[in-house]
Amino acid sequence: MSTLVEEWSEQVRAAARSGAHLAIRGGGSKRFYGGEERGEVLAVGGYQGIVAYEPTELVVTARAGTLLAELNQVLAERGQWLAFEPPACGPTATVGGMLASGLSGPRRQTSGAVRDFVLGVRILNGLAEVLSFGGQVMKNVAGYDVSRLMAGSLGTLGLVLEVSFKVLPLPVAEKSLRFSLGEAAALEKLNQWAGRPLPISASAWHDDVLTLRLSGAAAAVTAAGRTLGGEALDDSAALAFWQAVREQQHAFFAGEAPLWRLSLPSLAPCQKLGPTFIEWGGAQRWLRGGDPQEIRRAAEMAGGHATLFRADAALKAAVGVFQPLSAPLARIHRQLKLAFDPSGVFNPGRMYPDL
């Protein structure tokens, strides 16, 4: 494996000397997310393997090209998993792509995001230097937490070689419930329930149907089910539903209309901007179609931001994928890019046009 890293280091040096760009690609399952790729493809999917796994310590370290499905299987054999339920978006999904995209699944509302589970990383920066940050325990950071900075950076700061994650035991029991509620009523209920000691691990609302998932100790799940009421889903139907939500295979996500992801305060009222799908207790709201300027303006006024999650290249180029940054935040982004990749070798334009 060291030979691969040496080859990539030479490619990075050559690109920096010539002013060329490199488009990092693992399994390619999330190429739709972010700006269009530019430059020569740097294929890194061959850098595979689980480097270390300590089930008793709840820590796993894997190379970035390791298939996400392989990692999930190894963890499941020991009754553990990545509790943020990362979407794969296809069978070729890799650990590095999971980290670079920073996407989390339905359990994000209670377990946390990708970045909350990152303990350490090993990267190749734009100067062809191999750098290590963090470690394999939770309290290992003094100063800037670079490891978590890699989550959601879309490869713009460097090539991730290895990553260490905290893992958790699988839930002992789960139950999913359904309620017939309009959007406003569903948001009100979700915020009320969030203030109570209920083992809610996921929520999804669409087309006047709210689905909840309860997870935890069997007694707690049973008691919460009695308290909340609703219609119980059988286990197979519940498993299929939450997998469809995680992988965006639910009927709402089908079709060619642009897909927007709004990150809002859970208390934000109904936005009424188009067909809507709500997750994370009201904090994540998906929209189909709509006017880009109106969507971005509404998200900002509600205290959040809007991302053009899926769309054709023309619309991405016209309106940008991510909410425009304020001047102070843009300056921080540029300074970070300069520190890690001063020649602008890696993934230009994947986050913002000038990065």
Do 20 and 162 belong to one domain? yes
Report the number of distinct structural domains present in the chain: 3
Residues paired with 207 in a beta bridge: none
Give the range of the structural domain holding residue 32, as residue numbers without chain letter.
Answer: 2-169+330-340
* Domain-located, residue 350: no
**CATH number for position 85:** 3.30.465.10
| Distance in angstroms (rounded) separating the CA atoms of residues 204 and 11 | 45
Statement to judge: residues 25 and 162 lie in one domain = yes
Q: Are residues 105 and 244 in the same domain?
A: no
Q: Are 16 and 165 in the same domain?
A: yes
Whether residues 260 and 197 share a domain: the answer is: no
Signed CA dihedral, 144, 58, 246, 70: sign only: positive
17 and 147, same domain (yes or no)? yes
Tens digit of each residue's pLDDT, the chain (355 residues): 689 999 999 999 999 999 999 999 999 999 999 999 999 999 999 999 999 999 999 999 999 999 999 999 999 999 999 999 999 999 999 999 999 999 999 999 999 999 999 999 999 999 999 999 987 655 555 556 889 999 999 999 999 999 999 999 999 999 999 999 999 999 999 999 999 999 999 999 999 999 999 999 999 999 999 999 999 999 999 999 999 999 999 999 999 999 999 999 999 999 999 999 999 999 999 999 999 999 999 999 999 999 999 999 999 999 999 999 999 999 999 999 999 999 999 999 999 998 8
What letter represents residue 310's amino acid?
R
Let me know whether 115 and 232 are in one domain: no
| Domain assignment of residue 290, yes or no | yes
User: Are 146 and 275 contained in the same domain?
Assistant: no
Do both 201 and 313 map to the same domain? no
Q: Are residues 150 and 268 in the same domain?
A: no
Q: Which of 191, 219, 251 is the last residue of a domain?
A: 251
The CATH number assigned to the domain holding 296 equals 3.30.70
**Buried b / exposed e across 161-177, counting CB within 10 Å, b at 16+?**
bbbbbbbbeebeebbbb
The answer to whether 165 touches 59, Cβ cutoff 8 Å, is: yes
User: Nearest-CA neighbor of 29 among 95, 125, 75?
Assistant: 95
Label residues 95-119 b or e (16+ Cβ within 10 Å = b). Answer: bbbbbbbbbbbbbbbbbebbbebbb
Instruction: Give the C-alpha distances (Å, rounded to integers) separating 62 from 14, 41, 202, 211, 279.
Output: 28, 22, 27, 34, 29
